Chains A and B, each alone.
Chain A
Amino acid sequence: MEEYPDIEITLNVNGKDYTVKVKPYERLIDVLRYKLGFTSVKEGCGRGECGTCAIIMDGELVASCMVLAVQARGKKILTLEGLAPPGKLHAIQKALLDTFAMQCGFCFPGVIMAMKHLLDKNPNPTEEEIKEALSGNLCRCGSYLRFIKAAKLAAEYIRKGQVYFEFKG
């Protein structure tokens, strides 16, 4: 295999700077998962089609399997691990629990990121806007109807100023 040099990059993940050495061909998803340990970022298809690896990078929702790590140099990244302060649930997480949406949970990190991206830009989305925003997230267990309810509920919580919640367990 041809030798490629290591490249040192700094990423800001969930508010903290990380400096890592990466190969030019390494994908952001692998660096997040295996070099930095943010395993909420899941690989479902490796082609940006399923949404399980969705993260928010500089305010945009991106599929981290479609981004090279070097392209993320200096960017601000949000993963599910950084959504709420330790010991708290974000309104989106709370709403997904309130609507009993959980099944296998593999798509959830991506779904939550897509909801967060939507609600950051649109605090009071319509049903159609919610569907559009989540249309890139596949859920094979079929919790879609509950995602719609949860997004509405989360928007309501946030509008009321209830962004973080205490939880048991």
Chain B
Amino acid sequence: MALPTAEYVKIVEELFEKVRKFTYVGKHMQRWDAIEKILGKARFTADYANLYKNLVYVYSVRTKYAHARIRKIDVSEAEKVPGVLKVITHKDIPGVNDVGYVIPDQPLLAYNKVRYIGDIIALIVAEDPYIAEEAAEKVYVDYEPLPVILDPLEIVDPVTLEEKKHVLIHDERESDVVARYRIRTGDVKKGFEQAEVIVENEYRTPYVEHAYMEPEAALAIPEPDGGITVIASTQCPYEARRAIAKVLAMPFNKIRVAVPPLGGGFGGKEDVANEIGTKAALASLLTGRPAIAVHKREESVIGHSKRHPAIMWYKHGATRDGKLVAVEARIILDTGAYASLGPFVAWRATVHSVGPYKVPNAKVDTVAVYTNGIYAGAFRGFGNPQIHFAVEQQMDLLAEELGMDPVEFRLKNVLRNGDRTVHGQLLDHGVGLEEALIKAAKAADWYRKRAEYAKQTGTIRKGIGVALLWHGNSIGAEGADYSAVSIIINRDGSITFRTGLIDMGQGAIQGLIMLAAEVLGVPPEYFRVEMPDTASVPDAGPTVASRSTAMGGNATLVAAYKLRKKLNEVAADLLKCDPDDIEIRAPEVYCRRDPTKKIRWIDLVEECFWRGVSLQEYGYYRAPKAKWEDETGHGEPYFTYTFGAIIAEVTVDMETGKTYVERMVTAYDIGRVVNRVGAELHAEGGAIQGLGYALMEELVHSPEGKVWNPNLYAYYMPTILDIPKEIIPVFVEAGYIRGPFGAKGLGEPSINGIAPAIANAIANAVGVRIKSLPMTPEKVYLGLKRKGLIKL
């Protein structure tokens, strides 16, 4: 039996069809929190320390070995240090000793073994942070060291992907394979028989650090009823609440999680509050005092998830006339010591593994494995920056073999309206990929430059490269996909906006206000965004997966639409005109056909109050159900995709191997631009972060599993000296019927295509193809030397 279409779906579709002219949506507007931030008044989590007296400080004693059995933990000496109130070990945990996100594989406090260098043995709770750190030296642990495995190829065979015999990292699971996914479409054997050109290569990408400027922090306050309030830097207040409640053995309603502004997140603050929030909560519970935990940078680097290193083997086949006929791939993701979001990352990588192209025959196998490295999880792009680095170089190599222009070759294969994806998903509308590529090529003056750069001599060479990208919006078949907001129009006409979605700098909340303002007819400055707090805001799902604008936006439309309907009805009754004729332009409300019939906004709100018309609305939106068949990888994994085309221009100094990115054009089909400033900042910020991924970033483990560069002096990332002169954002608005006014997400897609575009530009400049990230001067230089292109 078909269920009736939900009201919220009808609202979103109706607004998509009806509204064509916008007052706020798509305009350049100042963020709601810009003033408090520019004044230095914005209160980040660690700043809350000043608001509480009698604080205790939590310090994490971490393991000295990356892989070892624990024979004994002795904290008696540490407990005797004056000023130490409590030393917490696994024995003190009232509930379940686990903070894993997808799989319960991650103890908060180690008990029988340690699996990577960040594992925590004990928590010192002291009157002062210096005392806590000093007492940590007095925690004695008897370890039995085990072999440290850092190469995923020691876990699985690179060809069969079968698990090899090795010392198990997760003995309790009896396997170190975390997840496997596959795609089986058509017949690859036949596909390759039809292929006239075939390219086959291995690509590698490293561990990468989010390096958000604000290290993680959490402050826990004991409540009179025995509950705990936790102020924490997290992208997911409701998920953090679940994790904390589980460890403390408390019902969800006794844990309250409030989230101040985040100093960046990029996915790294998706699950880390499960850990740091719980540490503070536990200390608070056991001492009865407010407890604060703040990670130093070195702790942050080893204490939160990383981008998955990947080993990817790709074989592509095409016909002489430039049609892709087959793709075969094996993808190995190293999820480090714990799963974190690893299984979902592996799934997303699999879904997108052939790129945004029509591929009739595909065979893809992905495996995510444990090692003794830092655990890998969510990081902007979520598996996609890795696979795009491989796929988009493969596309260029095919074009080269075919003697075709890389843009022209891609245009023969891109997904268009009416095409089916490799999973068999019909994309019947809203695919703006071709338009994005054509616009990017035009903005970058592609054809002229490509021809011009072919004639270069000398040791300073310019190059131009292209990459396409796609990114499924929201969480898809990973889990329950819903969002919610509440909008309250107060009696003075001001508006309170509440959602469990977080602002980590990305600007999504500004987009939501602009959407609400558009529907209500009330300027954004009437709105106040309340701090996300499980005590007041609705559960909006996690702030991840580029879902805030699309999913939160729809929930916002629903709430605003319901309010607008009531306001129109009351106004129509007062002004004696039709409800559809009511125009709200706060502070004025009038009849469109006769604007002399008008009342003030504040009077309309007051009238609603006296008539008992509630102006407090809740908006809920549930995504269309995703489908995924495990055996074939067929279905509808995501309800829609963001598409894009990146063109990068570089200069390569052949004598040093150094690459300078001069200019980038980033063209994205995001359905509809909502928060234009935010979209432009994503285009720029994603490009700069992607440039770091491309050219300089790599977190390196020593053979013993320690981290060689856990601070910002040794972890190289882009400074203002490394950026291009220009990043030109281009937006295509192809419109997706179930996005708010057609909008799709841009948070993550903005990094997917950057590294491969730069790789292709380097190859265009100097004829050297770098198949592993980062593309350092050494790699480029050695590549030139190997090919005899430089004699030095």
Out of B41, B43, B505, name the residue touching A141 (CB < 8 Å). Answer: B505
Out of A44, A102, A144, A168, name the residue touching B37 (CB < 8 Å). Answer: A102
Interface segment, B223-231, B534-542, B680-688? B680-688
Given A52-B213, A97-B35, A106-B214, 18 other A-B residues pairs in contact with their CB atoms under 8 A: A1-B81, A1-B131, A23-B130, A34-B49, A39-B43, A43-B215, A45-B713, A81-B40, A93-B38, A102-B30, A102-B33, A104-B263, A131-B720, A135-B721, A138-B712, A140-B264, A142-B685, A143-B681
B39 interfacial by beta-carbon distance below 8 Å: yes
Chain B residue numbers with a CB within 8 Å of A97 are 30, 34-35, 38
Out of B134, B263, B296, B684, name the residue touching A145 (CB < 8 Å). Answer: B684
Q: How far is the CA of A139 from the CA of B43 in the complex (A)?
A: 18
Q: Are A103 and B505 in contact (CB under 8 A)?
A: yes
A42 interfacial by beta-carbon distance below 8 Å: yes
- Interface SS majority for chain A: loop
A74 interfacial by beta-carbon distance below 8 Å: no
Q: Which residue of A lies closest to B131 (CB)?
A: A1
Chain B residue numbers with a CB within 8 Å of A45 are 297, 711-713
A22 interfacial by beta-carbon distance below 8 Å: no
From residue B135, how far is it (CB to closest CB) to chain A in Å? 8
Chain A residue numbers with a CB within 8 Å of B130 are 1, 23, 25
From residue A30, how far is it (CB to closest CB) to chain B in Å? 9
A107 interfacial by beta-carbon distance below 8 Å: yes
Mark out the residues of chain A between 88 and 137 whose CB falls within 8 Å of any chain B CB in the assembled complex. 89, 93, 96-97, 100, 102-109, 112, 131-132, 134-137
Q: How far is the CA of A53 from the CA of B37 in the complex (A)?
A: 15
User: Given A97-B34, A109-B40, A143-B684: A135 and B214 within 8 A (CB)?
Assistant: no
Q: Which 3 A-B pairs have the closest CB atoms?
A: A104-B505, A40-B40, A106-B263
Q: Can you give 23 contacting A-B residue pairs, CB < 8 Å?
A: A33-B47, A33-B50, A39-B40, A43-B215, A45-B297, A89-B39, A97-B35, A97-B38, A100-B677, A102-B34, A104-B262, A105-B261, A105-B505, A106-B212, A106-B213, A107-B213, A131-B720, A135-B719, A138-B211, A142-B681, A142-B718, A142-B723, A148-B720
Q: How far is the CA of A140 from the CA of B265 in the complex (A)?
A: 10
Interface 1/0s, chain B 225-265, versus A by CB < 8 A?
A: 00000000000000000000000000000000000011110
User: Given A100-B28, A105-B505: A139 and B213 within 8 A (CB)?
Assistant: yes
Q: How far is the CA of A104 from the CA of B689 in the complex (A)?
A: 15
User: Given A39-B43, A134-B720: A106 and B712 within 8 A (CB)?
Assistant: no
Q: Are A141 and B297 in contact (CB under 8 A)?
A: no
Q: How far is the CA of A1 from the CA of B132 in the complex (A)?
A: 10
Chain B residue numbers with a CB within 8 Å of A40 are 40-41
Chain A residue numbers with a CB within 8 Å of B297 are 44-47, 50
Q: How far is the CA of A52 from the CA of B40 in the complex (A)?
A: 12
Interface 1/0s, chain B 697-721, versus A by CB < 8 A?
A: 0000000000000011100011111
Q: How far is the CA of A102 from the CA of B34 in the complex (A)?
A: 6
Q: Which of A42, A80, A147, A167 has its CB near the most chain B CB atoms (within 10 A)?
A: A42
Chain A residue numbers with a CB within 8 Å of B40 are 39-40, 79-81, 108-109, 112
B145 interfacial by beta-carbon distance below 8 Å: no
Q: How far is the CA of A91 from the CA of B285 in the complex (A)?
A: 47
Q: Which of A25, A107, A136, A139 has its CB near the most chain B CB atoms (within 10 A)?
A: A139
Q: Which residue of B lies closest to A114 (CB)?
A: B720
Q: Are A44 and B38 in contact (CB under 8 A)?
A: no
Q: How far is the CA of A69 from the CA of B33 in the complex (A)?
A: 32
B104 interfacial by beta-carbon distance below 8 Å: no
B42 interfacial by beta-carbon distance below 8 Å: yes
A161 interfacial by beta-carbon distance below 8 Å: no
Q: Are A135 and B212 in contact (CB under 8 A)?
A: no
Chain A residue numbers with a CB within 8 Å of B212 are 104, 106, 140
Chain A interface size band reads 35 or more
From residue A139, how far is it (CB to closest CB) to chain B in Å? 7
Q: How many A-B residue pairs have CB under 8 A?
A: 167
Chain A residue numbers with a CB within 8 Å of B38 are 89, 93, 96-97, 102, 105, 108, 112
Chain A residue numbers with a CB within 8 Å of B504 are 104
B432 interfacial by beta-carbon distance below 8 Å: no
Q: Are A46 and B296 in contact (CB under 8 A)?
A: yes
Q: Which of B39, B210, B505, B723 has its CB near the most chain A CB atoms (within 10 A)?
A: B39
Q: Are B685 and A49 in contact (CB under 8 A)?
A: no
Q: Are B719 and A39 in contact (CB under 8 A)?
A: no
Q: Are A49 and B213 in contact (CB under 8 A)?
A: no
Interface 1/0s, chain B 259-293, versus A by CB < 8 A?
A: 00111101000000000000000000000000000
From residue B37, how far is it (CB to closest CB) to chain A in Å? 3
Q: How far is the CA of A168 from the CA of B39 in the complex (A)?
A: 12
Q: Are B711 and A49 in contact (CB under 8 A)?
A: yes
From residue B47, how far is it (CB to closest CB) to chain A in Å? 4
B82 interfacial by beta-carbon distance below 8 Å: yes
Q: How far is the CA of A39 from the CA of B719 in the complex (A)?
A: 24
From residue B300, how far is it (CB to closest CB) to chain A in Å? 9
From residue B171, how far is it (CB to closest CB) to chain A in Å? 37
Out of B263, B505, B721, name the residue touching A42 (CB < 8 Å). Answer: B263
Q: Which of B31, B37, B680 has its CB near the most chain A CB atoms (within 10 A)?
A: B37
B453 interfacial by beta-carbon distance below 8 Å: no
Q: Are B37 and A140 in contact (CB under 8 A)?
A: no
A5 interfacial by beta-carbon distance below 8 Å: no
Chain B residue numbers with a CB within 8 Å of A106 are 44, 212-214, 263-264, 505
Q: How far is the CA of A23 from the CA of B130 in the complex (A)?
A: 11
Chain B residue numbers with a CB within 8 Å of A134 are 720
Q: How far is the CA of A87 from the CA of B427 in the complex (A)?
A: 53
B46 interfacial by beta-carbon distance below 8 Å: yes
Q: Are A103 and B681 in contact (CB under 8 A)?
A: yes
Mark out the residues of chain B between 189 and 219 whose CB falls within 8 Å of any chain A CB in the assembled complex. 210-215
A15 interfacial by beta-carbon distance below 8 Å: no
Q: Which residue of B lies closest to A109 (CB)?
A: B40
Chain B residue numbers with a CB within 8 Å of A103 are 264, 505-507, 681, 685
Q: Which residue of A lies closest to B29 (CB)?
A: A100
Q: How far is the CA of A97 from the CA of B33 in the complex (A)?
A: 11
Chain B residue numbers with a CB within 8 Å of A145 are 684, 723, 726-727
Q: Are B723 and A104 in contact (CB under 8 A)?
A: no
Chain A residue numbers with a CB within 8 Å of B263 are 42, 44, 104-107
Chain A residue numbers with a CB within 8 Å of B211 are 138, 140
User: Given A104-B214, A104-B261, A144-B688: A43 and B46 within 8 A (CB)?
Assistant: yes
Q: Are B719 and A142 in contact (CB under 8 A)?
A: no
Mark out the residues of chain B between 1 and 57 whose CB falls within 8 Å of any chain A CB in the assembled complex. 28, 30-31, 33-35, 37-44, 46-47, 49-50
Q: Are B213 and A42 in contact (CB under 8 A)?
A: yes
User: Given A49-B713, A103-B681, A109-B40: A131 and B721 within 8 A (CB)?
Assistant: yes
Interface 1/0s, chain A 10-30, versus B by CB < 8 A?
A: 000000000000010100000
Chain B residue numbers with a CB within 8 Å of A25 are 130
Q: How far is the CA of A47 from the CA of B689 in the complex (A)?
A: 22
From residue B367, how far is it (CB to closest CB) to chain A in Å? 31
Out of A93, A131, A140, name the residue touching B717 (CB < 8 Å). Answer: A140
B83 interfacial by beta-carbon distance below 8 Å: yes
Chain A residue numbers with a CB within 8 Å of B720 are 131, 134-135, 137, 139, 144, 147-148
From residue B1, how far is it (CB to closest CB) to chain A in Å? 48
Q: Which residue of A lies closest to B262 (CB)?
A: A104
Q: How far is the CA of A145 from the CA of B666 in the complex (A)?
A: 15
From residue B490, how far is it (CB to closest CB) to chain A in Å? 18
Q: How far is the CA of A50 from the CA of B39 in the complex (A)?
A: 20
Q: Which residue of B lies closest to A79 (CB)?
A: B40
From residue B349, how far is it (CB to closest CB) to chain A in Å? 23
